Amino acid sequence: MSAPFDMNDDNVVVIIGTGAGGGVLANELAQKGVSVVALEAGGRYMPEDYINDEWDSFGQLAWTDPRTTSGDWRVAKDFSGLPAWIVKAVGGTTTHWAGASLRFQDHEWKPRTTYGDIEGANLLDWPIDPREMDDYYTKAEDKLGVTRTGGRAGLPGSNNYKVFEKGAKALGYEEVHTGRMAINSADNDDRLACQQTGFCFQGCKWGAKWSSAYTDIPRGEATGNLEVRDRCHVMRIEHNEQGKVTSVVYVDADGNQQEQRARVVCVAGNSIESPRLLLNSASSMFPDGLANSSGQVGRNYMRHVTGSVYAVFDQPVRMWRGTTMAGIIQDEAKNDPSRGFVGGYELETLSLGLPFMAAFLDPGAWGREFTTALDHYENMAGMWIVGEDMPQETNRITLNPDVTDQHGLAVADVHFDDHPNDVAMRNHAYKQGIAVYEAVGATRVFPTPPYPSTHNLGTNRMSEDPRDGVVNRHGQTHDISNLFVSDGSQFTSGAAENPTLTIVALAIRQADFIAAELSKNTL
């Protein structure tokens, strides 16, 4: 049978979400001949629809359904209703992401073994050997067209990069380059080369940056095996008396409730929505939510140790020109506990336009200390910190019984407290980032607090032992064999690297597993 599929077709794999996890999984399965219905809460936007304007684009793409926050993280104070800056659209946050595509370091697959017993941290090794991932990483890099891999050239350095590079070299950093980016340095895979337009976060209007919205999704649809239903918000997953999932109930684009039967359900709504959906699907058989016998659904929420360093110079930089994140210092990504923390961090170039700089440079600040910084916006350079944060059981997504969304569903509360290791790492990164810019003559520096999270990880984590996590080494839930998790929520740990490449590699790997199990009739 080919798409579109009937609501009563119980042979389909239903995938919830179409981003780096769900979008790739949908295409990979469709290419193997598996029938797939992908349900996407957001609308469909293509490069011609994207907007080179920060707030207009935010209004077009961002997930702004209500959420609440708690905990000591500054985001809860500055952006109490916006814990995450992620996307509600076909392609998910692959429309918004910067394109940084880094493999985990080997030791990051085994954080419990490597870092030991860190007080307050719920560290666990991934049930995956790093060598198992090598081929999947290569496939992911080829799919995304990652620069500096597979013989693809690096991107050219922008003004912002040149400042960053000069400061980094002055400090003695050696692993400094324009990044491994899923942004074409030359025409590749029917996508144009980067035109140095900026606005990478607003959706690439050239299609030079990989997004599942205009690669995997249409390619999957072209097979006839994939049907994407956009503006369809999933309310809950149903199951039978045997404890297998059987269907997905959702609100369609016209506001009507629908029920799609399913042979397999894969949840890929990101680390906030995926646990929320499992919790909102609680039943008499599964009173704590689906796949939650461990009690770990929603727990161990990670968002990376982040922060930014901006600096003002006595002459113009014009950091907004060109690729937003094509610049990296990797020397601090290693695990070197002598720095006062375990794990490591990357420093990556970053720029914001004037409107977002006003919103994010020092949220809540006012007066001349703040405005004189913006007065020199043209002379600013910027970088972002991304490092491994500690999983903590108490950092978690829960249902907020007091707040419901437009569908009457309890919203997610995102609770996060920094771990002392996170604080120590961030402070070290601020110091190094400031030193980079001062080495080039910065006249003023700004250790800028974290933005709403773009890297949301860990809330349905992978574990060898079903008591420690939600899914096994294939992303299959320990409790329900035909229910999978296919996004960053399956991350056992966060590592120092931007997560998309690993999400994509795991999705390709999961597609192999699901297709094989389907052919063996074990699902």
Quick check: 354 binds another protein (CB under 8 A)? yes
Tell me the three state secondary structure of residue 60: helix
Quick check: 322 binds another protein (CB under 8 A)? yes
For another protein (CB under 8 A), the number of binding residues is: 43
Closest approach, Cβ 362 to another protein, in A, equals 11
Quick check: 315 binds another protein (CB under 8 A)? yes
Q: Which stretch binds another protein (CB under 8 A): 9-17, 369-377, 422-430, 481-489?
A: 369-377
> CA 134 to CA 130: how far, in whole Å?
7
Quick check: 369 binds another protein (CB under 8 A)? no
Quick check: 46 binds another protein (CB under 8 A)? no
| Interface with another protein (CB under 8 A), residue from 163, 297, 445, 523 | 163
| Interface with another protein (CB under 8 A), residue from 49, 238, 378, 417 | 378
| Interface with another protein (CB under 8 A), residue from 68, 196, 223, 335 | 196
> CA 137 to CA 436: how far, in whole Å?
31
Here's the x/- map for another protein, 52-91, by CB under 8 A: it reads as xxxx------------------------------------
Strand partners, 37: 14, 227
Closest approach, Cβ 353 to another protein, in A, equals 6
Quick check: 159 binds another protein (CB under 8 A)? yes
Quick check: 513 binds another protein (CB under 8 A)? no
Please tell me what DSSP assigns to residue 522: -
Exposed e or buried b per residue across 271-293, where buried means at least 16 C-beta atoms within 10 angstroms of its C-beta: bbbbbbbbbbbeeeebeebbbbb
Closest CA to 454 of 277, 274, 302, 275: 302
Closest approach, Cβ 47 to another protein, in A, equals 9
Strand partners, 402: none
Q: Which is nearer to another protein, 86 or 163 (CB)?
A: 163
Closest approach, Cβ 354 to another protein, in A, equals 4
| Interface with another protein (CB under 8 A), residue from 166, 334, 407, 444 | 166
Q: How far is CA 276 from CA 207, 273, 282, 298, 384, in A?
A: 32, 5, 10, 7, 29
Please count the residues of the chain.
523
Six-digit token string for 178: 């324009």
Closest approach, Cβ 172 to another protein, in A, equals 18
> CA 490 to CA 481: how far, in whole Å?
15
Q: Which stretch binds another protein (CB under 8 A): 21-29, 217-225, 359-367, 470-478?
A: 359-367
Q: Which stretch binds another protein (CB under 8 A): 51-59, 236-244, 429-437, 493-501?
A: 51-59
Quick check: 242 binds another protein (CB under 8 A)? no
Q: Which stretch binds another protein (CB under 8 A): 48-56, 269-277, 443-451, 467-475?
A: 48-56
Tell me the torsion sign for CA atoms 417, 419, 422, 426. Answer: positive
Q: How far apart are the first and last CA of the chain?
A: 19
Closest CA to 448 of 338, 309, 283: 309
| Alpha-carbon torsion angle 213, 215, 218, 222, nearest 10 | -170
Quick check: 481 binds another protein (CB under 8 A)? no
Q: How far is CA 159 from CA 26, 168, 382, in A?
A: 38, 14, 11
Closest CA to 128 of 510, 519, 522, 518: 510
Residues that bind another protein (CB under 8 A): 52-55, 156-159, 162-163, 166, 194-199, 205-206, 315-318, 320-322, 353-355, 357-359, 364, 366-368, 370-371, 374-375, 377-378, 440
